[in-house]
Amino acid sequence: MTTLATIALGTADVGFRGRILALDMQRAQGAGLPGAELERRLIELGFVEGATVELLHQGLFGGDPIAVRVAATTIALRRREAMAVMVSHEAMP
């Protein structure tokens, strides 16, 4: 398994697979919530370090919102908030 790059989930394309490295509220300045609250909501929906993510679907306009498989759950969110989720791109075995 090779780690290729670290990117924000908010910039990923459909089909992207990876693993969550960190939650960085500094990256989601445009989000509709203060950082501390956004971080807690993301964690409550399963976005924690180490969880696998896969970008399944995106909307028609601006590729927004996105549907993300986080471990065993599918979550819909906007790219603006997904910017806070730092992920490593993994080549799947």
Partner 1 sequence: MNGPLDVAPPLAASASVSGNVAPVVALVGNPNCGKTALFNALTGSRQKVANYPGVTVEKKVGQLATPAGRAIKVIDLPGTYSLRARSPDEEITRDVVLGRLATEATPDLVICVADASNLRLALRLALELKRVGRPILLSLNMMDIARKRGIEIDLERLSRALGVPVVSSVAVRRGGIDALLAEIDRALGDLPATAPANWHAPDAAELRGAQHEADRLLKLAVRKEGRLDPGTARADAIVLHPVAGLALLLAILFVMFQAVFAWAQPVMNLISDAFTWFGALVGSAPLPELLRSFLKDGVIAGVGSVVVFLPQIVILFFFILLLEDLGYMARAAFLMDRIMGGAGLHGRAFIPLLSSFACAIPGIMATRVIDDRRDRLTTILVAPLMTCSARIPVYTLIISAFVPNREVWGFVGLQGLVMFGLYAAGILGALAVSFVAKRLFWRSKASEPFMLELPDYKLPQIKSLALGISARAMAFLKRAGTTILSMMILIWVLASFPQPPAGAAGPAINYSLAAMIGHAIEPVTRLLGFNWQINVALIPGMAAREVAVGALGTIYSIDGGAEAADKIGQVLAGQWSLATALALLAWYIFAPQCASTLAVIRRETGSWKWMAVTFFYMLALAYVAALIVFQTAVALGAG
Which residues would be at the binding site for partner 1 (CB under 8 A)? 23, 30-33, 36, 38-46, 48-52, 56-62, 64-65, 67, 69, 71-78, 80-81
8 Å CB contact between 66 and 77: yes
Residue 58 or 88: the one with the smaller Cβ distance to partner 1 is: 58
Residue 5 or 87: the one with the smaller Cβ distance to partner 1 is: 87
Closest separation between CB of residue 62 and partner 1, Å?
7
Residue 5 or 76: the one with the smaller Cβ distance to partner 1 is: 76
> What is the DSSP pairing of strand 17-23 with strand 85-90?
antiparallel
Query: Cis omega (within 30 of 0) on the bond before 93?
Result: no
Spatial neighbors of 92 by CB under 8 A, at least 6 apart, are 1, 17
